[in-house]
Amino acid sequence: MKIIYFYNEEWEKDYIQTRLTGNEFKFVAGRLQDHPEIHDDGAEALCVFVNSEVKAVPMDQFPKLKFIAARSTGYDHIDLAEAAKRGIRVSNVPFYGENTVAEFAFALLLTLSRKIYDAYKRIEQDGNFSTDGLRGFDLKGKTMGIIGAGRIGLHTARMARGFDMKVVAYDKFHNDQVAQEIGFKYLELDDLLAQSDVISLHAPYLPETHHIINLNNIGKIKPGAYLINTARGGLVDTAALLKGLQEGILAGAGLDVLEEEGYFVDEMKLLTDPHPQLETLKVVLANHYLITHPRVILTPHNAFNTQEALERILNTTIENLKGFEAGTPVNIVKS
């Protein structure tokens, strides 16, 4: 089987090749959309990270394509309807980093709660060891509201209980046994927003979760709450986030993801698109405002990025490719 593999780091190539012997590989650095010149009439499988957009036009580059292996849990970067129309199966990596992402969510929260970045910058820039203005707050006794109680959300709940926090969760599906074991309760979304001192987002990005935090419900958030997002930028309406910060509804935010974050990688594309969208431009400008906001911590979609998690991603991807080649595909996502 010929596999077109878009890689991020050099070590991936050897890791994959030594575990998928007997296949033909073509390795390409970076994102699929950056290589419109690549056409391959023999490629049957395409392996991409979450930063590659696999839409109709890129699929045309590989006319015999039968399988797309996404090295991610999310798959909103792939046009599933178009893939299904062409008879292309799509797999993902359902589980790889529930602890990895949950740990990062708490890294963002602790950075905010104890003003760690402010303290570091004060010492680095001024050599000033004064603690004036650096008073934080305890997590113990505070309420953590988790939106999306899947594997990552549940691991976040366990960690929150370890900090002696109260935990509430909102999810379409309830697992009352697990809730009892961990020690949290399910609430409706508005009730969670009203009760939570910290809101941590761990829901998948789907049509029904688009802008789950929005202008209609931002005012329902408990005044002074903190928002943590390590899931998808599209879960939060950027206009609502700005409103929450400007009106003091939110005391701060820790964000590993943003709406339209792809344009930070290639802002020139936004400016040179033949029909730039006004709303997209507004979001990008708002994101620049967030970068310099004193009560916002931003990181570059890095929550997944540990060696252990990356190896788990590759190991599952290898099994997905082996399964497809053997005629027993696994981890197939539905359009």
- The residues carrying an active-site annotation are 232, 261, 301
Distance CA 238, CA 215 (A): 9
Residues 6 or more apart from 208 whose CB is under 8 A from it? Answer: none
Distance CA 65, CA 320 (A): 15
- Type of residue numbered 132: D
| Alpha carbons within 13 A on the beta-carbon side of 158 | 12
Distance CA 236, CA 241 (A): 7
Q: How many CB atoms lie within 10 A of CB 1?
A: 17
Taking CA atoms, 143 is separated from 177, 183, 306, 325, 328, in Å, by 20, 12, 28, 48, 45
Structural tokens at position 11? 């070590």
Ranges of beta strands (E only) in 75-230 are 89-91, 143-147, 166-170, 185-186, 198-201, 225-229
Distance CA 248, CA 270 (A): 31
Residue 89's beta-bridge partner residues? 67
